[in-house]
Each structure stands twice: as structure tokens, then as C-alpha cells.
Structure 1
Amino acid sequence: MSGSQSSKVLKFSGHGYLRQRLILATLSGRIIKINKIRSEDNDPGLKDFEASFLRLLEKVTNGSTIEINYTGTSILYKPGVITGGKIYHECGTSRGIGYFLEPLVALAPFSKQPFDLTLTGITNDNTDISMDSMRTVTLLQLKKFGIEEGLELKISKRGSAPLGGGEVNFKCPIIRSLKPMQFTDEGRIKRIRGIASCTRVSPQNANRLVDSARSVLNRYIPDIYIYTDVYKGEESGKSPGFALNLVAESTTGVLYCSEQAALSGETPEDIGSRTAKLLLNEISKGGCVDSLNQWLILLLMVLGPEDVSKIRIGKLTAFTIQYLRDIKDIFDVTFKIKLDTTNNSLLLACVGVGYINYSKKTT
């Protein structure tokens, strides 16, 4: 990228897609300005969780400068170097830990030192991706690009909403460059796995979650195993709650996931059957990556070597469509999108920018 291009300030407006724009700016070295952050609201400007995410971004980088105007409705972000290392961050209880960790998964492989990140807060809620889905699905997307050894997400304490009290540790190795990826064969679903977790409620709730999900899924496939994960005492956080995470795996290694956490007054039976139906809905969309993880696969394809990477996607989410626009603005990479009329899926291909992590010495 030429000096003049990288020093030109890219402008965005609104609070939507804030994290992805900050991550893309960090990876590309582009300076960005985001205006009109809830400027029309009664409570204008950044929310506490967004300010907390900016603080976390400062912790994992060196030399980043963030200028926020008096009302909090405008940010100027000049990215520094991704440094990683051992970091501790309290995520609070306004949003789940997933809000903070999910975008950092894209930064971690390109760091100076391997990430060893401890985050505290809510591990399962219905707003942000749960730690179970991140561990069983999101991190496995990185393996397709050659990031494997030492990749780990450990849930040491679970924390249900609203008070949280959970704690996780994320470790990620660093690499010099990614491998190209071609992934267009969906295969057939061969098994379903899951985790039924509960904190500060009767362990029987976990068994009820399992039975309820199985009653829906048994009609679809026989190979189902749902683990029960019951946390007690110190490790069970500060609020009672239960949640279910389901993952379907195909013969070619495609992973589809669904998850739900209980809201007040809901029974394990409600959660079990709803999560199972959401999983079947996710499978029916097809493609080689589920809705939650489209953005990550596409971003890693862009950062890949100057070679063609290709992925089959069932249906693009609104979030992914905006992500593709932001990738075009920041990295100047356009995807070629072709409709496969045999099953109405989309084939997306791009040539990577040949991103290199110069902090990682070649061995």
C-alpha cells in the first residue's frame, strides 16, 4: 500500500460495524474516522462496552492512538503494531465476552508475540457469540489457513447473564503468512455434537436440555452426542442460568452451529427445542461456513497469499454484506460472486493481498 494511500483518512459514519472497522484498520494500517456515533440519540456517543473494546484494542497493540471527541460521537483511530502477549481485561456485563474476543481472533495470528488473553464477564447470552461456539467452531476456521499449533480457548469459569463472573483464556500462535483456501464441497451431515451447560441451577436442567434437543434432532440423524457441563461453586459465576450449544459436522469438515441461553422464565425444554430447530435452519442454508463465521473466513481469504481462495456460502448475512463493502474500502479487494443454480448457494472467490506478519521471523 502506498504511503499516500495509507495516510489518507477513511471516513465512516454510525455506530454499526464499529468493531470490524477498527479491526480492518488495524490490519491494514489505515487511519479511520467514525462520525455520527448515535448522534441523534437521547444518549449520544459511545456506549461503555464500545469504550471498553477500544481500551482492549490499545492493550493488544503498541502505538495506536484513539481520539474521541467531547460528546463521544466521533473517533479518530490511528492503528499501531499488533503486539499481543499476556493481557488481562474485564469485559463488564453490558455485553458478553464474545463481543470482545470475536474480532480479536482475526488480529491474533499477526501479532508480535503469541496472544495469551484472559477475559472476564458473561460467557453465554443471546446477544453475542458464546465461548462454546468460539471454541468449537470459530477457532477451527483458522486451521483451514494453517493456524493450528497452540490454538486454545479455555473456559475456566462460566458466567451467565446478567451478572457474569465467567473467565476464559485465549491462546493463539503467530504465523508469518496464511495458506490459500479452496472450500466448496459441503458434504453431508455426519454427526451432531453439543454442550448443555448450567450455572447455579439444578444439574437436572442440563439433562432436560439434552433430551429436548434430541427429541427434535433424532428424526434427522442418529449420531448425536450432547455433553453436559455443570459448573459449581466459584466456577459457576454470579448468576443462575443454562444454555445449549449445538454443532453439526459434515463429511468434508463443514461446521454449522446454533446456540441459545435461557431468558427469565424459560424452561430447558424451550431452549432445547429452539436451539435444535435453529441448527436445522442453519444446515438448510447450506454452504461451507455457517452464518456466524462468514466474516472471518472472508477476511482471512483477503489476507491470504496472492493466489485465488474460494468458498461456498449458503446465504450472505446482512453483516457479511457490509463486511464485504468495508473490505473493499479498506483493502481494495473485491470478491467475485457467482450463483450456483443447482442449490442456490454462492461461490465467492478473491485474490489475497499477500499479508505478511513481519514480526514473525522465518525459521
Structure 2
Amino acid sequence: MKFIAVYDKDATEYESDRLGFLENAKDVCIEQSINGDYELTFILPKGDKKWGLIDFDRKVGYDGRIFRIKDIDDCTISASTLLQDACRTHVQYIGDMINTPANEIVESIFATTPYVTVLKKEEIEALGLEPVTDKIDFFEMSKTTPIACLNRLMETLKKYRVHSEVYIDNDKIGLVRQLGSKKDFVIDPRYNGCEIKPKISTYTLVTKLYPYGKDDMPLEGDKQYILSPNYDTLGEYEGFCNFDEVTDQEDLLLAAQTQFREDNPERIDVPKYAVNVKVLDLPGEINLGDIVTVNDINNGIKSNQRVITVKKYPYEPHKNSIIVGVPPINMIEAFSGMFTAHQYLRLAQNERNE
């Protein structure tokens, strides 16, 4: 059986620099979400002789994955991906990068972050994923963090009508068009699934879209909106999108129509549908972003859904679960929000820490 290993906070050699193993750790869980949390949690019994190894910011590893201890709640220990450290790196200034491939911009963003390795184009392709190499204009930022810069980059790509997601593996990161692939795997409560809990939200639903290009350029003609194919079925939900890099009205129409396309993973004219599923004997080849079929017999819904969260219990595989559907929030927004809150509290204190 594999055990959780503990390392010093500055360790970089994980084969020989172990401080010890946590043989009695229980409820070991590794959870990863698309553009979201990636953490290891476990319980170390009270009185265990290995408590002396546990300390904040020390690294822990399991099955080749490395995390950093961030939270100790009684006997429960939580450790997050090393990418979390990028929230704490100060970037004084990063200059303009005009007409530069997005993957090269990512390399520049993390150039001064020693604990994050940006995967090269060839390395991403070797994983069976497609790197984002589109050339865009990235403008200067100052007094910021690598995560905030990455957030800006992904938002800019949206303006260029380029969808992107973040691939994370330990300290490695890569910007890809989409994680995962179509898998021939059906989740059915009669065979391998239990506790199928669907959640449907229409908070972000748009069926009547007003698109705007550069300098608030509208669509050509009096009719400055487009309707979704689902308009008659779902009713009218108004909204707008900014495409700041689009200067041609025909291109603006195409950009707007993309928002309603079936192959768009961020399609805005369908309710956000997420299903929490506990899966017995979850196949090892099911990864984040994969498309699986979910047969929700209670609600009479059979649909193809993306895997957006995977929770694996290596010691207790019967507790494995996945969430399929639409990601509720992306990692970059969450990390940026955490850093902003931290900065606000720090800057709001005076020299007496009041």
C-alpha cells in the first residue's frame, strides 16, 4: 500500500528527501476540479507519533503528486496544489507582448515563479491535448501576481473568441483549448452509480443576445441582437457580450453565433446542468474534462456531460465520486479573489496591525 510522504517546505527532490511516511493516515482524498481546486486531504489520528512531521507549508506527496499543507483543523489536514504559491508571488511589472502566441505569454508570466513549470507546446501535445498558440495582444500589468496575469490572458482570449482551460500536474501548468476527451462510459444508478443529484441553474442563461465589438460597435441594421435556437422553448433571457477585439460587423455576428453553438463548452443559451454522482469502481482512465454519459433515471434525463470534478479515495474506492456538468467557477477567478482579499486586509492595517 502507498503512504503519504512528508517533505520539508523547500524540498525539490522527492525520491530521497523524505522526512517520513504517514502510515496511519485515514480518509485520504485527492480532489481536482477543472480550473479549480486541486488538493489532498486526510485525517491523522490523535496521538500518532508522526504528528511531529506535520507543519504549515511543508510538502506532502502521494502517488507522485505533491501538495503543500495549508490547513490543519483538529485531526484533518488539507494540502493544496503548488500552483497556489503563485498567489504569493509579487510581479512588479510585466510589459506589453504584441502579436505573441498565448503559450509564450504564459511562459513569460511565470518566468520568475520558481515553483511553477510551464509546459512547452510539444509537451502539451504529447499529453494528447491542444495548446493555445493563437497570437494576441497582451498589455502591461504592474503590482500584480502571476495568477492575476493568467486571468487577464484568459479573459483576453475570450475576446478573441478562443476558449482556454488550465492543465495542472503538480508544479506543471499548461494552457490548453480543452481538457479531456469523449469516453465510452455510462453512469447508471442501476449498475455503477448511486446518489445521482442533479442541479440545474438558469442564473446565467441568455437566449436574446446583444453583441458589441470594439468601441461598442453593434450589429449591422436595426435588429442589434440575435436569438437562440432555444428562444421559443425557454423564453426570453436578455444579455450582452463584449468582443473588444472585433472591428468588423460580419465577424461580430459570427462571434455572437458562437455563443449558441452546440460544440461550445461555455454555451450561454442552455441551463447550467451539474450532476454529483458517486461511482462504484470509477475507471482509472476517467479524467477531468472527459465527456461521459449520465443516465438520470429519476428525472428521465440521459445526457453527455463533462467531468468537472474528480474525488478519489485511494484507500476506499467505494467512496469515489465525480461531478459532471458545467464548472461553477474557474480557478483563476477563485485564486485572484483570494489574493485580492489578502491584499486588502494587509493594506488596510496600519503599522500597529489595527
* TM-score, L = length of structure 2: 0.32
Larger fraction in helix: 1
Higher relative contact order (CA 8 A, sep 6+): 2
Q: Which has the larger radius of gyration?
A: 2
**Larger strand proportion of the pair:** 2
Could you state the TM-score of these two structures normalised by the residue count of structure 1? Answer: 0.31
